[in-house]
Amino acid sequence: MPQLNPDPWLLILSFSWLTYIIILQPKISSYLSAGIPNKNHKISNTNPWTWPWT
């Protein structure tokens, strides 16, 4: 059964993961924010919700 021969598929899987880790991952992660909060953001003053039945 040729499906059980891991030689070509293991090599393809290894090269694709190496390509992702070395080339694509730094490019993709440069577009993602690091979670640093924006210091210019004002905190709005919120009023408590008034429920009509209380």
pLDDT value at residue 45 = 74
**Structure confidence at residue 32 as a pLDDT band (50, 70, 90):** low
**Region 38-53 average pLDDT:** 74
**Region 3-9 average pLDDT:** 75
Cβ within 8 Å of residue 29, ≥6 positions away: none
Among 44, 8, 1, CA closest to 16: 8
Distance CA(45)–CA(41), nearest Å, equals: 13
